[in-house]
Amino acid sequence: MQHDKIITEAESKNDSLRPKISEFPLPQLGGRTEQVFFGLPQTAEFAQNSTLDALYLHIPFCTSKCHYCDFFSLAGHLDQADAFLDAMGRELELQVSHFGRVAPETIFIGGGTPTLLPPVALARLMAQINSAIKFDRLTEFTVEANPNTFDAQRAKILRAGGVNRISFGAQSFSATELAVLQRDHHPESVPVAMNIARHAGIDNLNLDLIFGIPGQSLADWDQNLTRAIELESTHLSCYGLMYEPNTAMTARMKRGEFTPAADELEIAMLQHTRDRLGAAGFGRYEISNYARAGKACKHNINYWKARNHLAIGPSAAGYHSGFRWKNVQSLTRYIDALNTGSPVVPITEIERLTGLARWGELAILELRLNEGIVLQEFQQRTGVDALAILHALLPRYSALGLWEVRNSSLALTEAGISVSDTIFADVLEAFAQAARGN
C-alpha cells in the first residue's frame, strides 16, 4: 500500500526535486573545478525582505542508522560538529544577505538528531539562529529529538533559544517493535524525555509513531496509541512503515527475514488511528497528523500550503515563489562549499514550477489536509478554478465516495485517504492536461 511515506514532521527532507540545469548559470566553488553548485537564483522573485514563512535547519548526525531511514543522516561523524556549525553559520549569513534578515512564523530544526549535538554546540546553534533571524512573527519553534539524547541541560538551552515545541521520535512503545526497526532507544525513555521538556517549560510535545511494523497486530498498534494518549502529548504523527530503496529494512525484507504488514491490516490501522485518537480528543488535520485543539503543527501547514520557506543544511530543500531547490546531500561537500574564502549556498538541484504545474502541486498538498482545497482561497491565490480543472474527475470520485465538496472545500473522505496516492496522481494529470489545453 502506498498511502503514505514515513516522514518525520519536517517534510523539507523530501527528495522530490529534479535538476533543471539549463535554466540557471552555474557558479563555481572558489578554486575547485570538480565541485560545482548553483547559488540561490538571482531573480526578481527573490527580492530582499520578501515574505518567508518558515525556516528549516537540517542537523545530519545520528547515533546509529535506523533500518527504515532514508533521510540524510550519518552515524559516527559527530567529531565534525564544529566544522559543520561553521558551515551552517555561513549558509545562514549567505541566505540572510540574499533575502534580508527574515522573520519566519515557524522554525523547525530536524535531522538527523539535533539533540545529539553536545550542549556547547547546541547553544552555539541557538545563538547563530537568534542573530540571523528576526523573531517578531515567530509563533512556533520546533526541535526534533530522540528520547535518549534529550536531557535537562539541552532542554534548558533550547528553551532559552526560543524553542517552544519538541517533536520526539518515539515510533513505538514496544521494545520488540523498536528492535525490529533498529531504533536505539528504550520505550520508557519517552516519558522521561517528555517530563524533562515540560520541566524546562516546553509543553507543546509531538510524538512520531510508526504502524505496520512487521509482526505488529492491530491490538499491538492500539496499545501504542493508548500509551501515547496516556502521555498527554499535544500532537501525534502516525505514519505507515515504508520500504524505501537502499535501506536496511528493505534489504532484510528482500532476504525474507520478515513479511511486511498486509495492505488490509495497514488500512485497518489507519482507520483505527482516526477513531481511537478522535475519541481521545485529537483532531485529524492531515492524513497522518493529529492534534489537540489549537496544536496543529504550523510549520508543516506552511509546507502543505506551499508557503515560502528557507532550508539550511545538507540535503535541506527550500521553496520560494514556485522555485524549489535542494542543498548537496553530503556532509563533507557541504562543509567544503561553505568553509572557504568564497562560500556558496551548495545547491545541487533546482527547479522552477510555473503556471498550472505549480498549482497542481498546491492542489495535492492541500488535499492532504482535512480541510482540503478551500476553493475560493485557492482561486484567489492562483487565479484557477480547481473544480473546473477537475471537472472530469469530480463525478467519478464523488460517486465512489473518495472525495466530497463540503463547506466550499474539496476534501478526501476516509475511503479517499486510503487511495490518496492514486488520487494525487490523477489530480496532477488533470492540471497537466489543462496546461496542455486538452
What residue ranges bind ligand SF4 (CB under 6 A)?
Answer: 62, 65-66, 69, 71, 73, 111-113, 146, 169
Q: Are strands 165-171 and 140-145 parallel, antiparallel or unpaired?
A: parallel
Q: Which is nearer to ligand SF4, 75 or 280 (CB)?
A: 75
Q: Which is nearer to ligand SF4, 55 or 116 (CB)?
A: 116
Q: Which is nearer to ligand SF4, 108 or 378 (CB)?
A: 108
Please state the closest distance from residue 216 (CB atom) to ligand SF4, in A: 17
Q: Which is nearer to ligand SF4, 148 or 409 (CB)?
A: 148
Q: Which is nearer to ligand SF4, 148 or 289 (CB)?
A: 148
Instruction: Compute CA distances 284 → 189, 216, 275, 307, 393, whole Å.
Output: 26, 23, 10, 21, 25
Q: Which is nearer to ligand SF4, 308 or 315 (CB)?
A: 315
Please state the closest distance from residue 237 (CB atom) to ligand SF4, in A: 13
Q: Which is nearer to ligand SF4, 146 or 409 (CB)?
A: 146
The three state secondary structure string of the chain is: CCCCCCCCCCHHHCCCCCCCHHHCCCCECCCCCCCECECCCCCHHHCCCCCCCEEEEEECEECCCCCCCCCCCEECCHHHHHHHHHHHHHHHHHHHHHHCCCCCCEEEEEECCHHHCCHHHHHHHHHHHHHHCCCCCCCEEEEEECHHHCCHHHHHHHHHCCCCEEEEEEECCCHHHHHHHCCCCCCCHHHHHHHHHHHCCCCEEEEEEEECCCCCCHHHHHHHHHHHHHCCCCEEEEEECCCCCCCHHHHHHHCCCCCCCCHHHHHHHHHHHHHHHHHCCCEEEECCEEECCCCCCHHHHHHHCCCCEEEECCCCEEEECCEEEEECCCHHHHHHHHCCCCCCCCEEEEEECCHHHHHHHHHHHHHCECCCEEHHHHHHHHCCCHHHHCCCHHHHHHHCCCEEEECCEEEECHHHHHCHHHHHHHHHHHHHHHHHCC
Q: Which is nearer to ligand SF4, 148 or 273 (CB)?
A: 148
Please state the closest distance from residue 294 (CB atom) to ligand SF4, in A: 27
Please state the closest distance from residue 62 (CB atom) to ligand SF4, in A: 3
Please state the closest distance from residue 241 (CB atom) to ligand SF4, in A: 12
Q: Which is nearer to ligand SF4, 178 or 412 (CB)?
A: 178
Please state the closest distance from residue 312 (CB atom) to ligand SF4, in A: 17
Please state the closest distance from residue 183 (CB atom) to ligand SF4, in A: 7
Please state the closest distance from residue 171 (CB atom) to ligand SF4, in A: 8
Please state the closest distance from residue 91 (CB atom) to ligand SF4, in A: 20
